[in-house]
Copies of this chain bind each other. A is one copy, B any other.
Amino acid sequence: MATAVSSVADTCAQAKRAARALAQIETGVKDAALEAIAAALEDRMHEILAANEQDMMAAREADIGDALLDRLRLDDTRILAIARAVRQIVALADPVGEVIDGRRLPNGLDIRKVRVPLGVVAVVYEARPNVTIDAAALCLKAGNAIVLRGSSSAAHSNAVLARIAAEAAVAAGLPEGCVSLVAGGPRRPGRGREELAELATQQGSVDLIIPRGGEGLKQALQAVATVPVIYAASGNCHVYVDASADLDQALAIVINAKTQRPGVCNAAETLLVHEHVAAAFLPRVLQAFAAVRVAVRADRRTRAIAADCASSDLIIEDATDEDWASEYLAPVIAVGVVDSGEEAIAHIARYGSGHSEAIVTRDTAAARAFQLGVDAACVYVNASTRFTDGGEFGMGAEIGNSTQKLHARGPIALRELCTFKYLIEGDGHVRH
């Protein structure tokens, strides 16, 4: 069980043993274990709430601020939502065993490329205790053992959640060590970075680390990791309104991409407008930004148009080079006018983070050039960048979003938590 194991290396070695067994366990057993976890969360709600209250008290004493307090807080509704999310993962197709490719080779050998679990996945996360269960359920469904490392501020909540998940999973037939938590105990000042470094160098047992946290965590990992890491995305996403755009659609898409949930990585941070529609479109969109209190950082041409039209509610400043590169994650947007689609693509190549980019256009050539020319995980035509999400894409839940180009690009869901192997069958075949 999670808390019985002493060192990070021991925990990971036990997870590796569990992973070898897990890789061969049938879908039905994995799904029954997830169902058991969901039921245990409901049954043992009082334990979870008691542990969470300990974390909340410590957090209030440490005066961590309302936003972080809210991220840390669990209540009946939130716990039921976590259990519901686990049941949604039960309903997803098992990625393990899927035949990706296959053929009979000219020499008669039969070859299949088959999806298999990665092995041991470590998830390092900050604050939100619900990640403990979300990540464990996704990893188990994909046949992986999971090693969790939460933050000390959520230590009691995470410890109870991981214990409940591990106990329910093992009782349902999954191997000991399939879910474990390091840094699960109460605060141990100074041990955090040391433990992270130990976890990030278990290349014999940990197959992948997924960090879910801010820049500090990313940099700490980059400095020490020898295990492969998939860094969660930062999203400096653009909406480009082409000369031929339907301006009603453009307005709806820009406002949705910027304001539907400004704090997430697929929200738009920059609006680019073709000069031919700047005079017609910018007054409308700036008025809309003013109405919903989105502050604007504008280039020279945008400011000139704004000067003629802007409502007194509009908050507008000059855009600096830093603005074009910023992921605001806030009700702020950079706005610029471009001479052409090529200029929009070049701007995105220079400043974008390769996450989600959209063009609004009625011109097939412009749409094609944008989708070919923009180097990003997701390239949209006439749709909001906000759709970049494993759930929206029909991949089920996601554990994060990748802007890397290797292995996983875009949503990291069940398939991305797998690798593959080639299975080759012959009848005494030797190479000549």
Contacts and interface: CB of A to CB of B under 8 A. Distances in A.
B383 A425 contact: yes
Interface stretch (A171-179, A184-192, A246-254, A312-320): A246-254
Given A393-B105, A405-B118, A431-B387, A380 B20 contact: no
Given A24-B373, A260-B431, 16 more contacts: A118-B405, A118-B406, A228-B404, A257-B430, A377-B421, A378-B422, A380-B426, A381-B423, A381-B425, A383-B424, A383-B425, A383-B429, A383-B430, A409-B419, A409-B420, A409-B421
Contact of A419 (B252, B381, B405): B405
Interface string A383-396: 11011100011100
B426 A119 contact: no
A426 B372 contact: no
Contacts of A371: 423
Pick from A410, A422, A424 the residue with the most CB of B within 10 Å. Answer: A424
A392 B422 CA distance: 13
A379 interface: yes
Contacts of A387: 109, 424, 429, 431
Contacts of A222: 226
B384 A431 contact: yes
A246 B427 CA distance: 10
A375 B103 contact: no
B119 A405 contact: yes
A226 B225 CA distance: 11
A252 to B, nearest CB: 5
A134 interface: no
Interface in A274-305: none
A166 interface: no
A111 interface: yes
Interface in A84-126: 103, 105-107, 109, 111, 116, 118-119
A373 B423 CA distance: 12
Interface string A146-159: 00000000000000
Contacts of A388: 422
Given A20-B373, A105-B392, A406-B228, A426 B381 contact: yes
Contact of A422 (B349, B393, B421): B393
A207 interface: yes
A428 interface: yes
A172 B287 CA distance: 51
A337 to B, nearest CB: 22
Nearest to A380: B424
Interface in A132-175: none
A143 to B, nearest CB: 11
Interface string A241-264: 000001011001100110010000
A410 B422 contact: yes
Nearest to A253: B430
A23 interface: yes
Contacts of A429: 253, 382-384, 387
Contacts of A376: 421
A208 interface: yes
Contact of A383 (B256, B373, B419, B426): B426
Interface string A174-217: 00000000000000000000000000000000011000000000
25 contacts: A20-B373, A23-B375, A111-B394, A116-B375, A208-B406, A228-B405, A249-B427, A260-B430, A371-B423, A377-B421, A379-B423, A383-B430, A384-B429, A386-B431, A387-B424, A392-B431, A393-B422, A405-B419, A406-B406, A406-B407, A407-B407, A409-B420, A409-B421, A410-B421, A410-B422
Contact of A384 (B393, B405, B430): B430
